Amino acid sequence: MSEKTSKKLKSLKRKTMTGNIITYVILAIISIVWLIPFFMIVLESFRGETTMQVGYVFPKEWSLKNYAALFAGSDVVKYPKWYLNTLIIAIAVAIIQPIMVLCVSYTLSRTRFASRKLLMNAMLVIGMFPGFLSMIILYKVLSSLGLTGTGAIWGLILVYTASSGMGYYVSKGFFDTVPKSLDEAARVDGATRARVLFSIIIPMSKPIIIYTILTAFMSPWGDFMFASYIAHNTSEGMNVAVGLNNMIGSASSLAAHYTEFCAGGVLVAIPITILFMCLQKYYVEGVTGGAVKG
């Protein structure tokens, strides 16, 4: 190697080195920016000296009393009840919604029938209406059945799951990629369509089923719009999001409950995050696959 080329190589190496260092710095900054709010919320949840908002992050007095206050409960704070409500809703939705989605997506992907295109277009158009629009009448009907206010859990489960068949896109995208020859071979052997679904397609679809269950389980935790409307200011029927928002809704309640709100947030975030991390692989597959196939 001549001296010239080795010099060139060295300068190239230096160039990539500086490039990498800049990238590391940017990535480190990004990581800090993205993680810092969570550190702050955890730190503030342990603050013992005051329940108000303050201009510093690190507690002067570490304490668990915010957590204790959440579980002691009061007229305003019914945290265990909210938590249980949300958990029940999430589990019910995680069971029912994937079944609905699976039925619709499998049918639209693997079977051909006369009104199929019409059905898909109709669902696309219906999906363009804001979902909240239908809540006004649904609320009136559900409340006459006693499924709002204190009975909001059941009303919400109905609202979340009844129309969930419309969210079939990601799952259909998955089924579209499963070779049709599999079905055909089984059909030639005399299997009914139902048998093809249960003994061939479902065992193959573990990733997409887990993805659907995971997203179905997570969505009720974050819903505010429907939950607040159905619960209708009855603190018995609220989910965590509505309850916590209510807890810090006015200036006076904010001052009294701010650190408790942080503690409540931490308690929701921990189990969800752990669950999410365990199933991350499936989530990533679903997200990337779903976006590509539209």
Nearest distance from C-beta of residue 60 to another protein, angstroms: 14
**Closer CB to another protein, residue 3 or residue 179?**
179
Which 8-state DSSP code applies to residue 165? G
CB under 8 Å to 156, separation ≥6 — which residues?
A: 89, 220, 226, 227, 230, 239
- Tokens representing 85? 């409500």
In the bound state with another protein, the residue whose beta carbon lies nearer, of 3 and 290, is 290
The one-letter amino acid at 176: D
Q: Which is nearer to another protein, 237 or 265 (CB)?
A: 265
Distance CA 135, CA 226 (A): 8
CB of 72 to another protein, least distance (A): 21
How far are the Cα atoms of 28, 60, 122 from residue 47, in angstroms, in the given order?
28, 7, 53
How buried is 285 (Cβ within 10 angstroms: 0-12 exposed, 13-18 middle, 19+ buried)?
middle
Give the bridge partners for 47, in sequence order. 62
Cβ closer to another protein: 3 or 254?
A: 254
Q: Are 198 and 183 in contact (CB under 8 A)?
A: no
Would you say 3 or 11 has its CB closer to another protein?
Answer: 11
Choose among 103, 55, 87: nearest CA to 205: 103
- In the complex, least distance from residue 54 CB atom to another protein, rounded to whole angstroms: 7
Nearest distance, CB of residue 138 and another protein, angstroms? 5
Helix (H) or strand (E) holding 84: helix 79-110
Under 8 Å between Cβ of 97 and 160: yes
**Beta carbon nearer to another protein, 54 or 84:** 54
Least distance to another protein, CB of residue 238, Å: 12
Distance CA 165, CA 127 (A): 11
- HSE of 171 in the Cβ direction (CA atoms, 13 Å)? 32
Report, in angstroms and rounded to the nearest whole number, the Rg of the chain calculated over CA atoms: 26
Write down the least CB distance from residue 133 to another protein, Å.
4
Nearer to another protein by Cβ, of 68 and 270: the residue is: 270
Q: How far is the CB of 2 from another protein (least distance, A)?
A: 22
Q: Minimal distance in Å, beta carbon 263 to another protein?
A: 11
Which residue's CB is nearer to another protein, number 65 or number 96? 96
Cα 65 to Cα 42, 247, 248, distances in angstroms: 14, 17, 17
